Amino acid sequence: MNILDHIVADKRKEVDMKKSLIPISQLEQSTLFERENLSLVNNLKNSTSGIIAEYKRRSPSKSVINQNLNVFDAAKGYEEAGVCGMSVLTDGKYFGGSLDDLVLARASCQLPMLRKEFIIDEYQIIEAKAFGADVILLIAAILTKTEIKQYSKLAKSLHLEVLLEVHNEEELDKSIMPSLDMIGVNNRNLKNFDVSLDISKQLSTRIPNDFVKVSESGISSVEAIKELQPYGYKGFLIGENFMKTDDPGESAKQFIKALTS
């Protein structure tokens, strides 16, 4: 089993437990369920930087990134820096995140919020809406074509935008459908954690222009973004690069300044 298989196996147990504790009807009564969603797609289309800044404490590939920073300060800092949206890891076991992080981030800024999670059940999509997300992530590597269709349609019915993540041509070919908004290419091989921007370059021509193209992982320099922009990428998900500093908001601000000047 690779790391992704382990995460999914644990996630199934976690979701089963949550379903037994908090029924969907209770999630639907959340005050955040009625809020009007913010659009990450519009922000990316109208931005010169396209930065989606991530909040994550740790990851399986890097262990601890930053345990000291609270999500409220990070969200405020990212908003002041002028990022297009914020990605919040909500997986506890492997990334040290939680749904509380999402709620706090939502309360502290007006950025579109992406719930970064390993979604394997419709329950998690309703949960995302109830906890203040504007966008959900679907990972093609862990879902069938039928599941991608089912989950993305449910998200659209809740006015959530959908970012679908792919790693190779096979995943991309099975996944393209009208119920997606953004297609993200993960430059990290989830089986061995190697990172290469060539993955984004190679897949760019196969992504129809109806979708906003997002490049994820391994983007740690302004040069990397400038290298990817000619391939049609409008969004760039950056996590570790900002999170490993003492002030992610300030480092995002300096990064955007360097990128757009």
CB atoms within 10 A of CB 259: 18
Is 216 among the residues known to form the active site? yes
Catalytic residue among 127, 161, 165, 171: 165
* Residue 98 C-beta-side C-alpha neighbours within 13 Å: 5
Quote the distance between the C-alpha of residue 241 and its chain's center: 15
Give the active site residue among 43, 59, 215, 217. Answer: 217
Residue-wise DSSP of 95-120 = T---HHHHHHHHHH--S-EEEE----
Active-site residue, selected from the candidate residues 186, 200, 241, 251: 186
Catalytic annotation present for 165: yes
Rounded Cα distance between 78 and 251, Å, is 9
Q: Among 116, 129, 213, 234, which one carries the catalytic annotation?
A: 116
Of the residues 11, 47, 49, 54, which is catalytic? 54
- Indicate the Cα dihedral angle 185, 186, 191, 197, nearest 10°: 100
Q: Catalytic annotation on 186?
A: yes
Whole-angstrom Cα distance, residue 3 to residue 1? 7
| Closest CA relative to residue 40, chosen from 86, 74, 8 | 86
Task: Judge whether 217 counts as a catalytic residue.
Answer: yes
- From 11, 43, 47, 56, active-site residue: 56
Work out whether strand 135-139 and strand 113-116 pair parallel, antiparallel, or are unpaired: parallel
Q: Is 64 exposed, middle or buried (0-12, 13-18, 19+ CB in 10 A)?
A: exposed
- Catalytic residues, which ones? 54, 56, 116, 165, 186, 216-217
